[in-house]
Amino acid sequence: MKDLLLVANWKAHKTEDEARLWLEEFNRKIFEAKLDLTNKQILICPPYTLLQLLNAYVVANALEFKIGAQDVSRFVAGAYTGEIPAEIIKKMASYTIIGHSERRQNFGDTDEVLETKVVNADASGLNIVFCVQGDSTPIPETVKIVAYEPISAIGTGNPESPENAEKVAKSIKEKNKNVEKVLYGGSVTADNIKKFTDIPDISGVLVGGASLEASNFFSLIERC
Ligand code: PGA
């Protein structure tokens, strides 16, 4: 069985209370189902405000889940009001997403800016999940994990065909020799996850909408 990285991207959702309930329900379901997570690495990416809470919960309950941020600042610690630099994130998380299309579209994350974010995340020792929208999106050289997320599939209920996802994943690896894992993201659900995780060149999924309810994310993990 190959190793899978299964990422929940909560985007701009959840209060502390909601996050706590999600964690309790998700953890309980895994426990009750005696779900074997040997080859499944779960990575939860909440808003920055919840990183501390999730980290503390995972440590207190000796869970194997990883915690990640959804972005990092392009600046290092300093006079940058409102920014969250990688070295602060590193205290609460071991991963960060970089280059999500929502950041590229709405927050001026150009290829150059993303390059700087990758440098900062690397310098702090954060693992990176770098999102691309196709096989021609530039990928910084140090990146090892890429999430292929076609814009037409994000939040639309209209996922990429597994055949196409396979082609693009292969091509990303061919063009970027340092990339070790390609994930697929875009309208992944419990009903379609296996079609993607069964593809040899796909090493996991990045899930938005279907990760917001603990029961949905659990079903998805159960079915891959
Ligand atoms: P979705 O989002 O699963 O809601 O399509 C995926 C993503 O944007 O990471």
10-49 per-position pLDDT tens digit: 999 999 999 999 999 999 999 999 999 999 999 999 999 9
Q: What phi, psi does 112 have (nearest 5°)?
A: -70, -45
* pLDDT at residue 1 greater than cutoff 90: no
Give residue 44's pLDDT: 98
Q: Looking at residues 54-80, what average pLDDT do you find?
A: 97
Distances from the Cα of 40 to the Cαs of 147, 159, 206, in angstroms? 16, 22, 13
pLDDT digit string, tens, across residues 152-202: 999 999 999 999 999 999 999 999 999 999 999 999 999 999 999 999 999
Tell me, what amino acid is at 156? T
Answer for the pair 216, 190: CB distance below 8 angstroms, yes or no: yes
* pLDDT at residue 82 greater than cutoff 90: yes
Answer for the pair 124, 138: CB distance below 8 angstroms, yes or no: no
Q: Give the Cα separation of 97 and 171 in Å (integer).
A: 21
Give the closest residue to 139 by CA, choosing from 127, 148, 150. 148
Distance 147 CA to ligand 1 centre (A): 11
Q: Is 13 a catalytic residue?
A: no
What residue ranges line ligand 1, CB within 6 angstroms? 9, 149, 154-155, 185-188, 206-210
- Confidence band of 99 (pLDDT split at 50, 70, 90): very high
Look at ligand 1, atom 9, and give the residue with the nearest C-alpha. 208
Write down the catalytic residue from 16, 25, 149, 160: 149
Q: Is 213 a catalytic residue?
A: no
